A and B are shown apart, each in its own frame.
Chain A
Amino acid sequence: MSRKAADYMNPYLAGALLGVVLTASFVVFGHGLGASGGVASLAGAAESALLPGHAEKNAYLVNLAVSPENPLDNWAVFEILGVVLGGLASGWLSGRVRVETFHGPRISARARWGFAFLGGAIAGFGVRLARGCTSSQALSGGAVLSAGSWAFMFAVFGGAYLLAYFVRRLWT
């Protein structure tokens, strides 16, 4: 890496430490980590706020929330708050906090924004259909050997690898 940013941590070490955090979550809360649930709650709350009267009563959100009247009062929202703070802290300590856009050499930053949004939208749909994301299904469900989580994990890698060749202009 160039500039004054620190090198990224050894992936095996980072993985081991992440595994310790994951274990800690299980022994403290009885369940693993999660990210998509928090985003889903925020998205649902935003939708309700912007389209009043169009309440999104769906079982997923209701199950997460402590009180159905306040869909933001669920653990996933608090956890992603921590994720943002932790990411910022790590980035700051490593000198990696900077306004920029990561993009492959063959596309522009603005094009990258569009694809990031598109990819996010597709991912958002898939994540809800699968009832989880890499954190909640692959990592957490994977660690406790949930069969569905392992199937999900392989499907994610499968879908990504299958498409990678066709979108290589985005990255290489």
Chain B
Amino acid sequence: MFPLNLDGLGHAGVNALYVVTGFFFGFMLEQAGFGNSRKLASQFYLSDMRVLKVMFTAIITAMLLLFGLEVLGLVRPGALYINPTHLWPGIVGGLIFGVGFVIGGYCPGTSLVSMATLKLDGAFFVLGLSAGMVVFGETLGWFQAFFDASGAMGEVTLPQALGLPAGVVVLLVVLMAVGMFFVAERLEARFGPREKEPC
């Protein structure tokens, strides 16, 4: 039955497991080329759609595996963390984050990987992240109510929001992802690099 019971491992053991998980996470990010801001930014110029490919492949892989485990009855109900929906802070924050992403060329996870491989722009991005987060903490008092309550709907899943059975939503997401990959390949063929770009 999942999730596993980690009680026997002790605090240090669990923390070690987190390090191991992060290791594989960071390893795959770097393997995908996400330690490279030019590769990441190419997504938004349609020349290299790997951000979309990696992200959505990862999401549908995990979604199918987890949903499969649930169908098999191997997941304790209610035990998987579902991010609570704070709709407007999420959307506004997402837009702001997107702006930062295309200017800075990274997101938090990829900037750490970049910094790990000694890229200076990655390191500056991480420093910038910290600064931006501190600024957020300092200014939060001005928009606390928005942050706390705006669109605060608790745990809402897409099936609940759309009024569709979970299985249908899973299928629709897979179809949407495959459709996006198809379009992405077309866009890359059209806008991709004319010559081999330097790493």
Contacts and interface: CB of A to CB of B under 8 A. Distances in A.
B55 interface: yes
Given A115-B104, A171-B38, A26 B62 contact: yes
Given A120-B111, A123-B107, A30 B199 contact: no
Query: Which label, helix, strand, loop or mixed, suits the secondary structure of the B interface?
Result: helix
A35 B99 contact: no
Contacts of A100: 118-120
Contacts of B166: 145
A76 B66 CA distance: 22
Contact of B112 (A87, A97, A140): A87
B145 interface: no
B155 A30 contact: no
Nearest to B91: A155
Interface residue tally on B, bucketed by range: 35 or more
Nearest to B78: A30
Contact of A79 (B19, B27, B110, B131): B19
Residue from B20, B41, B60 whose CB has the most chain A CB atoms within 10 Å: B41
A52 to B, nearest CB: 15
Contacts of B106: 116, 119-120, 123
Given A100-B118, A118-B128, A43 B134 contact: yes
B37 A142 contact: no
A118 B106 CA distance: 11
Nearest to B85: A148
A126 interface: yes
Contacts of B61: 15-16, 18-20, 22-23
A157 B21 contact: no
Contacts of B107: 35, 123, 133-135
Given A126-B98, A137-B83, A147 B160 contact: yes
Interface string B46-61: 0000100111111111
Contacts of A56: 137
B14 to A, nearest CB: 8
Interface of B: 2-4, 6, 11, 14-33, 35-39, 41-45, 50, 53-63, 65-66, 69, 75, 79-87, 89-122, 124-137, 140, 147, 151, 153, 155-161, 166, 169-170, 173, 181, 196, 198-199
Interface of A: 1-3, 5, 8-9, 11-12, 14-33, 35-36, 39-40, 42-44, 46-47, 56, 58, 66, 75, 78-91, 94, 96-104, 109, 112-164, 167-168, 170-172
Q: A-B pairs with the 4 shortest C-beta distances?
A: A119-B104, A120-B128, A82-B22, A124-B132
